[in-house]
Amino acid sequence: MSKFDRIVTIWYQHEEDYDFTFISHPKHVTHFVWRNLPQAKENDCTLFTMARDGIGRFWSPLEQSQILYMCAVIDSNQSLVTSNPNEEANHEPNQDFSPIHYIGCDELHNAVHAQFKSHSKHERFDMRLERICERVKDTPDLLFRIETDGSLTFWGVQFSSTYS
């Protein structure tokens, strides 16, 4: 993938040779990451891509296939975060682009425990941390975005590998 590429090329082994497939996006792709779940089956090949259109996409393979389908979409413009309509009127679309980032649930859980657990001396704070850790544990795919005002938005995606 090059700097302003709108196509992600996925290479895979097919019998004794290698083959590839393309995943197209409406705007150039800023980054991608393969999902890494602690309890994942061996061949969990779910991919998260982030494009300049502000939309994060999960791609998962069809059963017994190398073809990836879009199994979940996170549109940051459709989030529940409210914004000031006057600010939006003064900005061009994507002028203040802030990408969505993928983080594994085990990474966040370990970071929360490592950073806060040893420093906490307040029971109420500890209870909130435990509640966050319980919610994280049940949500395998976590995404976050740092908003232009400095606030942090989290999304949790479940069952992104389930094809029906």
pLDDT digits over 99-114, tens only?
888 887 777 777 776 7
140 within a domain of the structure (yes/no): yes
26 within a domain of the structure (yes/no): yes
- Domain extent for 126: 7-76+95-157
86 within a domain of the structure (yes/no): no
pLDDT of 118: 60
Confidence of residue 63 (pLDDT cuts 50, 70, 90): confident
Instruction: Give percent of the chain above pLDDT 70.
Output: 71
Domain count, the chain: 1
1 within a domain of the structure (yes/no): no
Rounded to whole angstroms, the Cα distance separating 158 from 139 reads 6
142 within a domain of the structure (yes/no): yes
pLDDT digits over 67-121, tens only?
888 988 888 777 655 455 444 444 444 456 778 888 877 777 777 767 666 655 6
Neighbours of 94 (CB within 10 A): 12
Tell me the pTM. 0.69
Rounded to whole angstroms, the Cα distance separating 89 from 32 reads 30
pLDDT of 57: 92
Which of 47-61, 114-128, 144-158 has the least mean pLDDT? Answer: 114-128
Rounded to whole angstroms, the Cα distance separating 163 from 159 reads 9
102 within a domain of the structure (yes/no): yes
25 within a domain of the structure (yes/no): yes
43 within a domain of the structure (yes/no): yes
User: 78 and 153 in contact (C-beta within 8 Å)?
Assistant: no
Rounded to whole angstroms, the Cα distance separating 133 from 112 reads 8
pLDDT digits over 2-53, tens only?
788 999 998 888 788 998 889 999 999 998 988 765 555 555 678 999 999 9
